[in-house]
């Protein structure tokens, strides 16, 4: 089971990096590429495809990126000291000065 989790987390991380790299490449081509190039036309066609069926891509993005983003944010919270702390516990009672017992109650 541990091997499956390792492989799954590895594939998940590679998928996230791949989608990020693809998005960066498309942005670069559209922003700085030559408008007559094949890469520009392919990037433009891909952007039109995403625009026409954005709901499906949104659902896929949520499913693909939820756990990696959640893990990243949890690690950032721990690293920057922003993680939630446990509820405060009452201070321990001093054995030399026990709390007052109601009258009629005998200590065992």
- The answer to the question of residue 61 being in a domain is yes
Can you tell me which residue has the tokens 């026409």? 52
Domain of residue 59 covers 8-79
The SS3 assignment for 53 reads coil
Tell me, yes or no, whether 98 lies in a domain. no
Q: Residue 24's pLDDT is what?
A: 92
| 66 pLDDT more than 70 | yes
Query: Is 97 part of a structural domain of the chain?
Result: no
In a domain, 16, yes or no: yes
In tens, the pLDDT along 25-59 reads 988 988 898 888 898 999 889 889 888 888 887 88
Please give the DSSP secondary-structure letter assigned to residue 65.
Answer: H
User: How many domains does the chain divide into?
Assistant: 1
Residue 71 domain-assigned (yes or no)? yes
18 occurs within a structural domain: yes
pTM of the entire structure?
0.50
């Amino acid at each position: 089971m541990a091997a499956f989790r390792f492989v799954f987390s590895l594939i998940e991380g590679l998928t996230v990096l791949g989608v990020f790299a693809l998005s960066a490449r498309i942005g670069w081509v559209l922003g700085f590429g030559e408008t007559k190039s094949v890469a520009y036309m392919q990037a433009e066609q891909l952007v039109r495809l995403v625009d026409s069926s954005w709901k499906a891509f949104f659902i896929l993005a949520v499913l693909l990126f939820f756990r990696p983003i959640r893990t990243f944010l949890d690690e950032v919270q721990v690293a920057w000291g922003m993680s939630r702390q446990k509820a405060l516990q009452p201070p321990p009672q001093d054995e030399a000065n026990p709390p007052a017992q109601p009258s009629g109650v005998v200590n065992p």
